Amino acid sequence: MWVLLMGAIVVLSFTHCLYRWRNPKCNGKLPPGSMGFPLLGETLQFFAPNTSSDVPPFIRNRVDRYGPIFRTSLVGRPLIVSTDPDFNHFIFQQEGYLFQSWYPSTFTEIFGRQNVGSLHGFMYKFLKNMVLHLVGPENLRKMISEVEAVATTRLRQWSCLESVELKDETASMIFDLTAKKLISYDSENSGENLRENFVAFIQGLISFPLNVFGTAYNKCLQGRKRAMRMLKNMLQERRANPRKEHMDFFDFVLEELAKDGTLLTEEIALDLMFVLLFSSFETTSIAITAAIKFLLNNPHVLEELTCEHEGILKARENPDCGLTWGEYKSMTFTFQFINETVRLANIVPGIFRKALRDIQFKGYTIPAGWSVMVCPPAVHLNPEKYVDPLAFNPWRWEKCELNGASKHFMAFGGGMRFCVGTDFTKLQMAVFLHCLVTKYRFKAIKGGNIVRTPGLQFPDGLHVQIVEK
């Protein structure tokens, strides 16, 4: 009898908890959706690999069922997902008032608790201005010749090989350039390979967050730990042996750390360097690899792109001079091509915010403390905005704004947190494409398949042969 009674109590308790989980309290009407299982939510479905270039099945299936704004739960946290352009725009415009930047605790573990994405208000603006010291317009003007020299050297080396794996090689090229500008790191003269730690980090970045030995997520955390140890050692060495002149961004950071009353701490400085090293090369190398894949699949686009860049060479008075800032800014079709590349590649699968108080929108209530995920792929592949959205068509950007963000284009974020490194990314892509199409021919050897988990990956790489014209 007592056994049956206890069993009934357990069943009733579990049923009550399950009901409360699937029907959260709300001072209004929650968006429709499913919360999945307690704690786990719908995490497994969200991270399930897919090979489609269309809106991820996890998002598409729920939009079909619930509409453009729906609720779910990921990694034990309630979440509102938005594919609604108006709601997305509202979220970005209300940054710092109704919403603030937020990332899952697993991302915070990976990028550091004091990373720039997790900071708000004046502290965020302070760090953003520091980064602009590195990648602002004036510095990019000075950097263009260096970017061209690095691209020229690497392409010459690759042309001597039977084939190169483009994703890995472009990542190496960009990492070496960025690490030199940030911390004067030279991979050839360093006793430890800094980039290897970032490779281990990246492999588990967008994976199921199970911190058990041998999992991708665990390897990711270990890669971060090793990279942070190297950066901390560099920081201590620089402090012990300060340089009279600024030679890299680290010198600028150290000068700020030494000021009386500075907002910067060593922990924030190290997390900032880590995030800058990661974001500057990983996303750009994926974008370049996707760009080459699109060129290989669309010969008419390659022809138009080549025509623009060969026109730049023909218009020069001195054919031996390097790329100028004016020539770079004249690359109209190239910028259309870059926009189309990042629109279709959808490198960033979600942008996260958190509601600071109960928010009413289109009859729904977003409870205070709930997280919101803006879904760029659903926006970028909306057939109501983009005719034949899965087609690669750079000409669709003619007479369109090619910089900044909008309701219908958020490849580089939006609002006050629009990616500060956007211009640096575009510069590297445009200069690399200029060096490639004016001096080389290229063809696919193998690979090029994509998998989204949910971020974009090239599991078997993209192997190409590059031959001098």
Binding-site residue set for heme: 419
Q: Are 235 and 268 in contact (CB under 8 A)?
A: no
> What single string gives the DSSP state of each residue in 230-265?
HHHHHHHHHHHS--SS--SHHHHHHHHHTSTT-S--
Helix axes 266-297, 422-439, angle to 10 degrees: 40
**Angle at CA of residue 450, ends 448 and 456, nearest 5°:** 125
Instruction: Say how many C-beta atoms besides its own lie within 10 A of residue 300's C-beta.
Output: 8
Among 216, 276, 281, 295, which residue's Cα sits nearest to residue 453?
A: 216
403: tokens are: 């910089």
DSSP class of residue 95? Answer: B
Q: Are 87 and 408 in contact (CB under 8 A)?
A: no
The one-letter amino acid at 118: S
Among 80, 123, 112, which residue's Cα sits nearest to residue 98?
A: 80
Residues at the annotated binding site? 419
